[in-house]
């Protein structure tokens, strides 16, 4: 085991074991994708197909897997450095696509594996015990970034509240579009500010707030805007009180899979990896019509003069 005793990753693992078991996920139809970091070790500890990829590229791998085979459940486990530092472009692209991939971010405020440098979620001016000087950069607000990028499920959990986290993981995985779950996680070795004690005093559950309703029921623009705006307002709260729970959930927005299926009706039922690529004589089969329907947007027509 590569994690320090009392690492928040143990609480996250406990929650994912329960969530995956309760959802009765078929391990052969599920893929966990991770980047590099302490969090990147997660697929090694779960008996499900896993790919431990490159730092910052977990979402790019996951996108390729899901587009190629929409019948798979695809779940990313990444660090806050991995997803919001080097991988921030992919993070935004997944939200724009509304593709059915779940992103679970292990948010410890530091680059744990490389010995505690400030991650993109550590606030400016904070000095963890691993930093020689206070952090020079402003932090990014992961919930607000996910909302702005277009994720249709946006939530936050806490690694020590494993039962609540399990329910959020289940909700994220059963959501049809791009789902983002920010998981607050103490790093006992390098982050002496965001400790279990720190979070215990501050976290509160959004669902315990009278009238809190994050779900978009109709696809009307005003409702989408209203729910996104209230989620964004709550996401600014980070002080004596830190909200956890579901910030925003739009279950019926069209997904990229829906769009691809409109263009090519066999897309969901007979995904590309299940189709023959060559005939009995070994000659390649290229279905020009299907190819053009799926990838026509990438064909650039140049007008010759
Ligand atoms: C392209 C590339 N750049 C940098 C690194 C070095 N590196 C490995 S892990 C890591 C940061 C890990 O932090 P985070 O993603 O927050 O994960 P944690 O360890 O905190 O779970 C870095 C910078 C690398 N492996 N590859
Ligand atoms: Mg980290």
Q: Is residue 109 included in any domain, yes or no?
A: yes
Residue in this structure with the two tokens 């989620």, named with its chain if needed: 231
Whether residue 266 is contained in a domain is answered as no
Residue 188 lies in a domain: yes
169 inside domain: yes
Q: Closest ligand 1 atom to the C-alpha of 82?
A: 15
Check which CATH number belongs to the domain holding 237 and give it: 3.40.50.970
Is there an atom of ligand 1 within 6 Å of 55 CB? yes
Task: Tokens for 231, please give them.
Answer: 């989620």
**Domains contained in the chain, number:** 1
Residues 160 and 199 sit within 8 Å (Cβ to Cβ): yes
Per the DSSP assignment, residues forming a β-bridge with 83 are: none
- If you take atom 13 of ligand 1, which residue's CA is the nearest one? 111
Phi, psi (5° rounding) for residue 38?
Answer: -60, -45
Q: What is the pLDDT along the chain (305 residues), one digit of tens a residue?
A: 589 999 999 999 999 999 999 999 999 999 999 999 999 999 999 999 999 999 999 999 999 999 999 999 999 999 999 999 999 999 999 999 999 999 999 999 999 999 999 999 999 999 999 999 999 999 999 999 999 999 999 999 999 999 999 999 999 999 999 999 999 999 999 999 999 999 999 999 999 999 999 999 998 999 999 999 999 999 999 999 999 999 999 999 999 999 999 988 888 998 878 888 888 999 888 777 777 777 777 777 777 77
CA triplet 293, 277, 259: central angle to 5 degrees? Answer: 25
Please tell me the distance from the alpha carbon of residue 46 to that of residue 182, in angstroms, as a whole number: 20
Question: Would you say the CB of residue 186 lies under 6 angstroms from ligand 1?
Answer: no
State residue 204 phi and psi, 5-degree precision: -140, 155
The answer to whether residue 294 is domain-embedded is no
Please, what is the angle between helix 221-235 and helix 142-149, to 10°?
160
**Contact 108 CB / ligand 1 (< 6 Å):** yes
For residue 31, how far is the Cα from the chain centroid? Answer: 13
CA distances from 195 to 98, 173, 186 (A): 34, 28, 5
Domain ranges, residue 45: 8-258
Radius of gyration of the chain measured on its C-alpha atoms: 20
Q: Pairing between strand 49-52 and 242-249?
A: unpaired
By most ligand atoms within 8 Å of CB, the mutation choice from 44, 111, 182, 190 for ligand 1 is 111
- Residue ranges of alpha helices (H) inside the chain are 8-22, 58-68, 80-81, 88-97, 142-149, 162-174, 196-202, 221-235, 256-263, 288-295
- Determine whether the shortest distance from the Cβ of 76 to ligand 1 is under 6 A: no
Per-residue tokens: 79: 């660090």
Nearest 10 degrees: CA dihedral of 10, 15, 16, 19? 170
Question: For residue 276, what pLDDT is reported?
Answer: 83
pTM > 0.85: yes or no: yes
Residue 120 covered by a domain: yes
Please choose, from the candidates 107, 140, 90, 114, the residue with its C-alpha nearest in 3D space to the C-alpha of residue 37. Answer: 114
Query: Which pLDDT does position 141 carry in this prediction?
Result: 98
């Amino acid at each position: 085991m590569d994690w320090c005793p009392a690492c928040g990753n143990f609480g996250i693992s406990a929650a994912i074991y329960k969530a995956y078991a309760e959802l009765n996920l078929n391990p052969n139809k599920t893929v966990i994708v991770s980047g590099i970091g302490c969090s990147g070790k997660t697929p090694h500890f779960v008996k499900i197909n896993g790919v431990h990829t490159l730092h910052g590229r977990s979402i790019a791998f996951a996108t390729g897997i899901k587009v190629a085979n929409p019948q798979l459940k695809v779940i990313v486990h990444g660090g806050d450095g991995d997803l919001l530092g080097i991988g921030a472009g992919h993070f935004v692209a997944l939200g724009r696509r509304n593709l059915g991939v779940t992103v679970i971010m292990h948010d410890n405020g530091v680059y744990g594996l490389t010995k505690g440098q400030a991650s993109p979620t550590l606030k400016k001016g904070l000095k963890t015990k691993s930093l020689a000087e206070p952090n020079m950069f402003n932090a990014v607000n992961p919930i607000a970034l996910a909302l702005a990028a277009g994720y249709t499920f946006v939530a936050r959990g806490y690694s020590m509240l494993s039962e609540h986290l399990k329910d959020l993981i289940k909700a994220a995985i059963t959501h049809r579009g791009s789902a983002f779950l920010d998981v607050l996680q103490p790093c006992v070795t390098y982050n002496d500010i965001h400790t279990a004690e720190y979070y215990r005093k501050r976290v509160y559950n959004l669902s315990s707030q009278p009238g809190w309703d994050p779900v978009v029921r109709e696809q009307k623009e005003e409702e989408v805007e209203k729910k996104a705006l209230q989620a964004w307002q709550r996401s600014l709260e980070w002080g004596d009180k830190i909200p956890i729970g579901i910030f925003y959930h739009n279950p019926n927005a069209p997904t990229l899979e829906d769009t691809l299926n409109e263009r090519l009706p066999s897309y969901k039922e007979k995904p590309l990896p299940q189709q023959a690529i060559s005939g009995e004589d070994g000659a390649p089969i290229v279905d020009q019509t299907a190819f053009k329907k799926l990838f026509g947007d990438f064909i650039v027509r140049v007008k010759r003069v």
